[in-house]
C-alpha cells in the first residue's frame, strides 16, 4: 500500500535526523565532560563546575530522549517489515492514517494512547 511506503520513507528520514542529532549531542556531551574535567582540575569549588555539571545532565537527558526516539523509529520500521504497522499493539485495532501521518512511530491507536499516555 502506498501509504505504507510513505510511512517508511518518513521513518527513514526521521531516523537519519535522529541519528545525526544523537551524534551531535554525544559530541556535546564529550566536550562538556572534558570541560568539566578541566574545570575540576583548576578548582573543584569553581562555580563554573556546577554549571557544567548541570549542562552535562541536560545534554544526557537529551541523549536519552534521542535514543528513545531512535528506538521508536526502529520499532516502527520493524513493524512495517512484519506487516503489523498501523495496527494498535494494545487492542489490535487500526491506527488512523491521520494519526500515523502526524506520528509515524505510533504503536497504539488514539483511544489506547489516551488511556495510557506513555504507550503511544
Instruction: Provide the minimum distance between the beta carbon of 35 and Zn ion in the complex, in angstroms, as a whole number.
Output: 46
Instruction: Provide the minimum distance between the beta carbon of 101 and Zn ion in the complex, in angstroms, as a whole number.
Output: 17
106 binds Zn ion (CB under 5 A): no
19 binds Zn ion (CB under 5 A): no
Number of residues that bind Zn ion (CB under 5 A): 6
Instruction: Provide the minimum distance between the beta carbon of 14 and Zn ion in the complex, in angstroms, as a whole number.
Output: 23
- CB within 8 Å of 81: residues ≥ 6 apart: none
112 binds Zn ion (CB under 5 A): yes
Residues 79-98, interacting with Zn ion (CB under 5 A): 88, 90-91, 93
Are 82 and 52 within 8 A, CB to CB?
no
Cα dihedral value 89, 100, 18, 80, nearest 10: 60
> For helices 2-42 and 47-82, what crossing angle results, to 10°?
160
Identified binder of Zn ion from the candidate list 11, 39, 66, 109, rule CB under 5 A: 109
Are 43 and 77 within 8 A, CB to CB?
no
Residues found near Zn ion in the complex (CB under 5 A): 88, 90-91, 93, 109, 112
Amino acid at each position: 500500500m502506498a501509504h505504507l511506503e510513505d510511512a517508511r520513507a518518513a521513518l527513514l528520514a526521521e531516523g537519519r535526523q535522529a541519528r545525526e542529532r544523537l551524534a551531535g549531542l554525544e559530541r556535546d556531551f564529550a566536550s562538556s565532560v572534558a570541560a568539566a574535567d578541566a574545570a575540576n582540575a583548576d578548582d573543584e569549588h569553581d562555580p563554573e563546575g556546577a554549571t557544567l555539571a548541570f549542562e552535562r545532565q541536560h545534554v544526557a537527558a537529551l541523549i536519552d530522549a534521542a535514543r528513545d526516539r531512535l528506538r521508536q523509529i526502529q520499532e516502527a520500521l520493524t513493524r512495517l517489515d512484519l506487516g503489523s504497522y498501523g495496527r494498535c499493539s494494545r487492542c489490535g485495532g487500526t491506527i488512523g492514517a491521520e494519526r500515523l501521518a502526524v506520528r509515524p512511530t505510533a504503536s497504539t491507536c488514539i483511544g489506547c494512547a489516551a488511556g495510557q499516555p506513555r504507550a503511544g
